[in-house]
Amino acid sequence: MTFENLGLSQKVIAAVEAVGYTEPTPIQAQAIPFAVDGRDVLGIAQTGTGKTASFVLPMLTRLERGRARARMPRSLIIEPTRELAAQVAAAFELYGSQHKLTVALLIGGVSFDEQNRKLDRGADVLIATPGRLLDHFQRGKLLLTGVEILVIDEADRMLDMGFIPDVERISKMLPPRRQTLFFSATMPPEIQRLADTFLNNPERIEATPPATAAGTIVQRLKFSSNDPAEKREALRELLRDLEVRNAILFCNRKRDVAILHKSLLKHGFDAAALHGDMDQHQRMATLDAFRGGNVSLLVASDVAARGLDIPDVSHIFNYDVPSQPEDYVHRIGRTGRAGREGFAAMLVTPEDGRAVKAITNMLGSEIEWIGDAPGRDAFESKRGRRPARGRGPRKSGAQGGGRPPQRQESAPAQSNGDVKKKRRRGKTKPNGEPQGSNQAKSPAKGGERVVGMGDHMPAFMKRSPRAS
């Protein structure tokens, strides 16, 4: 299979050849002929499969005809994060080297003025995150009625980040007669519903079965104690034992990103950190340093690292086991890209038994251990679990033992101690119920409703207030 017989224009084929691609990846081979034809496409593919080119190349071909009008973009790509949006803009630059299309990037953290100027000039391609796009729209700077092609990328990430209502609002501003290309790594029911409403008789293309890891990634687990210092030492051991050229190290919480980063620097490793609190400029600078090989280890959280296109990461380290099995696939998808060999290792502590089981169930296969595999009794059972020092709400059971929180980064990280402190200080709600206590909301054992703290009123609450 070559790029010649997918229906792409000669200009696009020349650009792809100049980039050095010799044959299309499976998602490109399957999606491009339909997309070039103007059909709707539902692409189930994770990053690393070449999905960006699978929509950029046919868009370039289709946009060769026609011209953009001021404030009326001809195509719109919605991305969940600024980095992804910037990467797609870079892809247009790369593959569109033979075209004279105007690409406008509307992302937060950058001034409105320059973005307005681009819009005024008339954009052939508008790449945006949902929030900033709506901001521009509300300021009257944008008309979406001229959009001929809509791309929704990483739809499941948008869902995770709570962007679906925004995406639905945006879709209502678009003309119903348009082409829609919809991509998601996984297809949970909410995403299927969205796809059903957005797409018109789509061609469904599955580049990899949902939620499976690329076959070129060697995956390993390493058992470690819960103790943070010992866990960091276990990671350093891995870093020393494996031939790590460059790696992304994932933590579940941004606080741990900072701690691990500092510790790695202290131990002489060449590392940078990437977390959601950094501004756009800092994130881009860090990423550039990593991409350029000026720094070899990148400590990151899921939100900050979402969709990063770093072509040849030799290793992924999961310092923490992700609470959502899908996140595991997303994380390790940063290595073993486009057919290259990759290596992904994950540290597993006695508290992680269930989370690891959820991952192996989803993968449909076990992951090999480095060293001896721990016995069953090495893992804490959920009920008998002792609250661990310095662990997040999920581990401490503060979430009530239900489904772990979706985005740990967006919920401020709290150690078990913090949660306790907050409850003790307990600001009260108007009804006198301490905030943070949900006992009044849920029926207690035996169906009786317990109000406030029930019998367990702490002594300080019984003390009479001191007059000021």
Name the site residues for ligand AMP (rule: CB under 6 A): 21, 24-25, 28, 47-53, 309, 311, 337-338
68 vs 78, beta carbon nearer ligand AMP: 78
Nearest Cα neighbor of 47 from 248, 225, 224, 299 is 248
Tokens coding 366: 């076990």
207 vs 398, beta carbon nearer ligand AMP: 207
50 vs 276, beta carbon nearer ligand AMP: 50
26 vs 387, beta carbon nearer ligand AMP: 26
The end-to-end CA distance of the chain, in Å, is: 82
| Residue 305 contacts residue 250 (beta carbons within 8 Å) | yes
How many Cβ atoms from other residues are within 10 Å of residue 255's Cβ?
A: 18
| Residue 46 contacts residue 116 (beta carbons within 8 Å) | no
At its nearest, how many Å lie between ligand AMP and the CB of residue 135? Answer: 27
Tokens coding 365: 């296969």
Place of tokens 């501004």: 279
Between CA 254 and CA 52 the distance in angstroms is 28
CA torsion sign, 134 to 139 to 141 to 143?
positive
At its nearest, how many Å lie between ligand AMP and the CB of residue 276? Answer: 21
311 vs 371, beta carbon nearer ligand AMP: 311
Helix (H) or strand (E) holding 41: strand 41-44
| Residue 186 contacts residue 309 (beta carbons within 8 Å) | no
At its nearest, how many Å lie between ligand AMP and the CB of residue 163? Answer: 19
27 vs 128, beta carbon nearer ligand AMP: 27
279 vs 341, beta carbon nearer ligand AMP: 341
Name residue 206's beta-bridge partners: 44
At its nearest, how many Å lie between ligand AMP and the CB of residue 386? Answer: 42
At its nearest, how many Å lie between ligand AMP and the CB of residue 207? Answer: 9
- For 36, phi then psi, to 5°, come to -65, -30
335 vs 437, beta carbon nearer ligand AMP: 335
At its nearest, how many Å lie between ligand AMP and the CB of residue 125? Answer: 16
At its nearest, how many Å lie between ligand AMP and the CB of residue 94? Answer: 8
Which residues have C-beta within 8 Å of that of residue 68, sequence separation ≥ 6?
74, 102, 121, 122, 123, 124, 146
Between CA 72 and CA 69 the distance in angstroms is 5
At its nearest, how many Å lie between ligand AMP and the CB of residue 337? Answer: 5
Strand, coil or helix: 350: helix
Between CA 273 and CA 260 the distance in angstroms is 9
285 vs 338, beta carbon nearer ligand AMP: 338
What DSSP string describes 283-298?
HHHHHHHHHTTS--EE
94 vs 218, beta carbon nearer ligand AMP: 94
The torsion defined by the Cα of 321, 323, 329 and 333, in degrees rounded to 10, comes to: -60
| Residue 33 contacts residue 10 (beta carbons within 8 Å) | no
At its nearest, how many Å lie between ligand AMP and the CB of residue 443? Answer: 48
223 vs 343, beta carbon nearer ligand AMP: 343
The CA-CA-CA angle for residues 68, 70, 72, to 5°, reads 65
At its nearest, how many Å lie between ligand AMP and the CB of residue 311? Answer: 4
256 vs 309, beta carbon nearer ligand AMP: 309
At its nearest, how many Å lie between ligand AMP and the CB of residue 418? Answer: 37
Strand, coil or helix: 315: strand
What DSSP string describes 143-197?
--TT--EEEE-SHHHHHHTT-HHHHHHHHHTS-SSSEEEEEES---HHHHHHHHH
Tokens coding 423: 């409850």
At its nearest, how many Å lie between ligand AMP and the CB of residue 53? Answer: 5
